[in-house]
Amino acid sequence: MSDHLDGLTAKNDPRLDISDAYVFHGQVGTVFVLNTNPGGSNGFHHEAVYELKIDVDGDAREEFTLRVTFGDRDWRGRQEATLALLAGRDAGNRDARGAILARTTTGKKTTGDGGVRFFAGTAGDPFYIEPTVVAAVRTAVLNGTQVDLSGYEPGKAKNLFAGKNVHSIVVEIPDHFFHGLRIGFWGSIAVPTDAGDAWRQTDRAAVPLLSTLFGFNEADDYNAAPPVADDTTWGHQIQGKIAKAVEANGYDGDGDAEEYADAARDILMPDILWYRIGTRAQFTGGRRNGRNLVENVAEEMFELVLHKSVDGGLDVDSATGTLRSEFPYLSKPV
């Protein structure tokens, strides 16, 4: 799984779980996608804030937040959805109101102020991964051991999320808004506390598979944290696990395993997708420029944390549904 069902709170209520984040160039601008509630059928949480965080100066702090909130489900299962923009100090303030950009009903796309496109609703899950392979790689990373795929046949590979839907939030911002910038993007979900005077962040996501491979999918403290502290808080742990895993799997690169792990940690931390506005998004092949909907990010991440290619036996044809060429780009729900 990319970031599916990580964090104890999200497992108890999948509406509060982020499965994947994407950022790429669309028809008229930059597309931000936040997929949530994988496999669920009960919509979006009506008390939560779903936030698409944007850093424009490289400090791993949000300067802009695209916030989406939802109303209660009606008798048809539909919900009102509202998109707001928060900027400057308000970008990190969950009590700030922000400026409303668009309103719609789940399942219906709309165009709001300034040409901003907005969609919230179910879609086919574009992420694909082989469960036997990811389990073997995760075990190797967590334990510092050799990847054990004995008995596994790539020709019989299956997508763990075949035929599954996600609850997707898609926002397309015209290019002139962030003209020429290199931005950082991540998603988060938060709910009010029982006391009603504070917020609790239940999940965050950007780099695919990061929390799964390093065991953060069971860590509410990781999912509740902002990315600005990632390297100082989690970087040493990630570096150590990579060093042991690549050593166990026969590291044959330049320098030693520790040096390789240092470089890999710097790629993974902070947990943000970096993207140059208006360019082709690519996460694979070491390019690291956003993330589009069709890439085999699983094999890319396996090679990064092991310095060894691992055949997952799948490609884009293994994903659920057929992607649309126009907004909101994801496939129709199955």
Segment 47-92, tens digit of pLDDT = 999 999 999 999 999 999 999 999 999 999 999 999 999 999 999 9
For residue 140, give the nearest of 81, 215, 84 by alpha carbon. Answer: 215
Residue 277: give the domain boundaries: 8-318
pLDDT of residue 180: 87
Q: What is the 3-state secondary structure (H, E, C) of the chain?
A: CCCCCCCHHHHHCHHHCEEEEEEEECCCEEEEEEEECCCCCCCCCCCCEEEEEEECCCCCCCCEEEEEEECCCCCCCCCEEEEEEEEHHHHHCCCCCCEEEEEEECCCCEECHHHCEEEEEEEECCCCCCHHHHHHHHHHHHHCCCCCCCCCCHHHCCCCCCCCEEEEEEEEEEHHHHCCCEEEEEEEEEEECCCCCCEEEEEEECCCCHHHHCCHHHCHHHHCCCHHHHHHHHHHHHHHHHHHHHHHCCCCCCCCHHHHHHHHHHHHCCCCEEEECCCCCECCCCCCECECCCCCHHHHHHHHHHCCCCCCCCCHHHCCCCCCCCCCCCCCCC
* Residue 2 covered by a domain: no
Neighbours of 285 (CB within 10 A): 8
* Residue 62 covered by a domain: yes
pLDDT of residue 55: 98
pLDDT of residue 219 exceeding 70: no
Strands 18-25 and 182-192: unpaired
pLDDT of residue 4 exceeding 50: no
pLDDT of residue 40: 84
pLDDT of residue 2 exceeding 60: no
- Alpha-carbon gap, residue 297 to 285, rounded angstroms: 10
Asked whether 147 and 133 are in contact (CB, 8 A), the reply is: no
- Alpha-carbon gap, residue 6 to 11, rounded angstroms: 7
Burial of 291 (0-12, 13-18, 19+ CB in 10 A): buried
pLDDT of residue 281: 98
pLDDT of residue 244: 98
pLDDT of residue 124: 97
For residue 306, give the nearest of 157, 152, 147, 134 by alpha carbon. Answer: 147
pLDDT of residue 173 exceeding 90: yes
pLDDT of residue 9: 60
The number of distinct structural domains making up the chain is: 1
- Alpha-carbon gap, residue 165 to 1, rounded angstroms: 14
Report percent pLDDT > 70 for the chain: 95
Residues 256-274, mean pLDDT to the nearest whole number: 97
* Bond before 328 cis per omega within 30 degrees: yes
- Alpha-carbon gap, residue 91 to 179, rounded angstroms: 19
pTM above 0.85, yes or no: yes
**Apex CA 35: angle with CA 299 and CA 199, to 5°?**
120
* Residue 72 covered by a domain: yes
pLDDT of residue 5 exceeding 60: no
The torsion region of residue 321 among left (phi > 0), alpha (psi -120 to 50) and beta comes to: left
* Residue 1 covered by a domain: no
* Structure tokens that stand for 205 in this block: 């996501």
The least confident of 5-14, 125-134, 226-235, 304-313 is 5-14
* Residue 328 covered by a domain: no
* Residue 329 covered by a domain: no
Residues 201-228, mean pLDDT to the nearest whole number: 91
* Residue 275 covered by a domain: yes
* Bond before 131 cis per omega within 30 degrees: no
* Residue 330 covered by a domain: no
pLDDT of residue 7: 47
Kindly report, residue by residue over 87-120, the tens digit of the pLDDT: 999 999 999 999 999 999 999 999 999 999 999 9
Asked whether 40 and 333 are in contact (CB, 8 A), the reply is: no
